Structure 1
């Protein structure tokens, strides 16, 4: 299992309803992930979120998974991101090549600081590739969601 973050695009109306009725939001998100999401951007960093956050912080980017968006479920498992926020993040991600993040990869420091999932010392080069794949997925999601004028639900599962 583990701690993971995923995104699925949301219309402004869905975000409004989720904010006013968090129990509806939980059921709706479950149906989206369980059902047919063709045509609706979804994805995210999954378990790579903390490693990517380490790199994003090193590159001084304005994306913070656990602080951005607004809380929908009080247990901290579901957040909403407005279409404007999604567009701003998409612009920043699209302007940031992977190489700008990769220079901040420090498996020794990440292990010492216990950056989740704290596996950096076992296969440092392989984990860097894993983070790159996670970043590409993240960029792809935000780009597609922004182009569709979507906001997003961010699901934080643990």
Structure 2
């Protein structure tokens, strides 16, 4: 079984309800995931997005670049309940906007510049596949869609729920 980074766009009203009833939020996330699996909307329009197993590499690269928002684990606790590999967190609409703007100004080449794969091994970045400089390319295909997902959420004034599953 693998660990996947999961994201759900929610309206401010849905975020308020999720904070009061995290079980409802988990049901909403599962419902939206199921619906979206059939329709596959563009990342900018999607309510659910996954970075699959690239979440830990992306988190490492973003922390290393002093990214202003933790878009891999979230900033604010949503619930104490485990949604897979720990409890979910969220980003407020303002945090989503800051993240979207910063992502839009960041390239994947900037993130990987100067990174040696041995740093990833030493930091125990999941999964342990860091045997060559080419392995840094692994998350490139997730970075642009993630940026589009955040831009779409920001444009709509949405918050984002984040968890590992």
Q: TM-score range by the shorter chain?
A: 0.7 to 0.9
Shift of 1:112: 2.5
Does residue 69 of structure 2 align to residue 46 of structure 1? no
Partners of 1:41 and 1:144 within 8 A in 2: no
Match of 1:55 among 54, 61, 83: 61
Range moving further from structure 2, 102-111 or 68-77: 68-77
Hey, what does 2:87 align to over in structure 1?
Answer: 77
> Aligned pair in 2 of structure 1 residues 63, 117: CA closer, same or farther (>3 Å)?
farther
TM-score, structure 1 as length reference? 0.86
Q: Which residues of structure 2 form unaligned runs of 5+?
A: none
Q: Which residues of structure 1 form unaligned runs of 5+?
A: none
Partners of 1:44 and 1:137 within 8 A in 2: no
Does residue 143 of structure 2 align to residue 135 of structure 1? yes
| Superimposed CA distance per residue, residues 111-147 of structure 1 (whole angstroms, 9 cap, x where no aligned partner) | 13211111111x541x322211121122111011111
Range moving further from structure 2, 112-121 or 33-42: 33-42
Partners of 1:55 and 1:104 within 8 A in 2: no
Q: CA RMSD in A?
A: 1.9
Give matches, 1:83-98, under 5 Å. Answer: 83-98=93-108
Partners of 2:69 and 2:75 within 8 A in 1: no
Hey, what does 1:31 align to over in structure 2?
Answer: 31
Shift of 1:63: 2.9
Alignment partners' CA distance in 1, 2:118 and 2:105 = 28
Alignment partners' CA distance in 1, 2:50 and 2:29 = 15
Hey, what does 1:9 align to over in structure 2?
Answer: 9
Alignment partners' CA distance in 2, 1:102 and 1:96 = 11
Give matches, 1:118-157, under 5 Å. Answer: 118-121=128-131, 124-125=133-134, 127-157=135-165
Alignment partners' CA distance in 1, 2:104 and 2:47 = 16
TM-score, structure 2 as length reference? 0.83
> For this pair of structures, how many residues does the alignment match?
154
